[in-house]
Amino acid sequence: RWARQDRLGPELFDPARAAEERRRHRLAAAMPAALDRGEFTLHYQPLVRLADGATIGVEALARWPRPGGRPLDPQQFIQVAERTGLIHRLGRTLLEQACRQGAEWRRAGHDLLVSVNLSPVQLSDPGLVAAVADILHRSGLPADRLQLEITETGEALPYRSVLAGLGGLGVRLALDDFGTGYSSLAVLTALPFTEAKLAAELLLGFHESGVLGLIIAACHEMGMTVTAEGIETAEQEQTLRALGCDHGQGYHLGRPAPAGKGRFCSGGDG
């Protein structure tokens, strides 16, 4: 009886699923005005060079604090924005915020790489390359100080020329969450990525096997730098450093936080 219900699952009335759908609709309806009001912000998480512990950049992560409400999981509101198409406008707004912040850090004497997540849906926007060029120009951030992170979902391969266009601007391209979902060595070699970001799941899965070292070596062989995500312990940091992983990111190395006054400005001009 249960097996049969499982098979028919999606067609039966499922109160939990219906509630989730209503919640998504409410979110979708609230997002355009929230974007107009400037409610979407960014937190920045340090990207650390494992060889010497220096902070060489930051990943910009979207936040929607919602006045009077609980903060939402970015994965959820980004997915809703992808479905409604708002991701194009939201993505540009966040990219502009991040580039302005990067330029501001630069003026304060801190040369940081700013790494911004790009939804694969944004790659279908024919104006994307021109928009990125325009945002770079207006913010004053040099193109090679911007990195765009893309999670492969099976949609990026058809947009090879868009990625080539972005690469042509001098922007760096990272394959995000490498080792999960659709991402594969085939994707890495077919597209002009300059960096592979190893998913946290990969760290846990291959911690002792040496396979991780082979993956890092293969990425280096292809001319890419490697960042390990989700480093939560000193032991993981040590292992990855020993394996020659270039950069690391994770709660052990620094949590995402607002740009704040004087953050990454240890010289003390804040």
Q: Give residues in contact with ligand C2E (CB under 6 A).
A: 45, 61-62, 74-75, 78, 94, 117-119, 149, 151, 176-177, 229-232, 249-251, 256
Nearer to Mg ion, 55 or 151 (CB): 151
Rule CB under 5 A: which of 217-236 touch Mg ion?
A: 229
Q: What would the DSSP string read from start to end of 140-194? A: T--GGGEEEEEE-SS-SGGGHHHHHHHHHTT-EEEEEEETSTT--HHHHHHTT-S
Nearer to ligand C2E, 96 or 229 (CB): 229
Nearer to Mg ion, 139 or 151 (CB): 151
Kindly state the smallest distance separating residue 129's Cβ from Mg ion, in Å.
Answer: 20
Of residues 62, 46, 69, 125, the one with CA closest to residue 96: 62
Q: Give CA–CA dist 266/209, Å, rounded.
A: 38
Of residues 21, 106, 93, the one with CA closest to residue 58: 106
SS3 track for 87-104:
HHHHHHHHHHHHHHHHHH
Nearer to ligand C2E, 9 or 255 (CB): 255
Q: What is the DSSP letter of 71?
A: P
Q: Does 117 help bind Mg ion (rule: CB under 5 A)? A: yes
Nearest-5° angle of CA 17, CA 22, CA 23?
95
Task: Single out the residue of 55, 147, 151, 183 in contact with Mg ion (rule: CB under 5 A).
Answer: 151
Kindly state the smallest distance separating residue 229's Cβ from Mg ion, in Å.
Answer: 5
Nearer to ligand C2E, 10 or 69 (CB): 69
User: Which residue number places its CB atom closest to Mg ion?
Assistant: 151
Q: Does 149 help bind Mg ion (rule: CB under 5 A)? A: yes
Q: Does 152 help bind Mg ion (rule: CB under 5 A)? A: no
Please return the burial class of 229, using the count of CB atoms within 10 Å of its CB with bins 0-12, 13-18 and 19+: buried
45 contacts which partner out of ligand C2E, Mg ion, none, CB within 5 to 8 A by kind?
ligand C2E
Q: Where on the chain is the footprint of Mg ion (CB under 5 A)?
A: 117, 149, 151, 176-177, 229
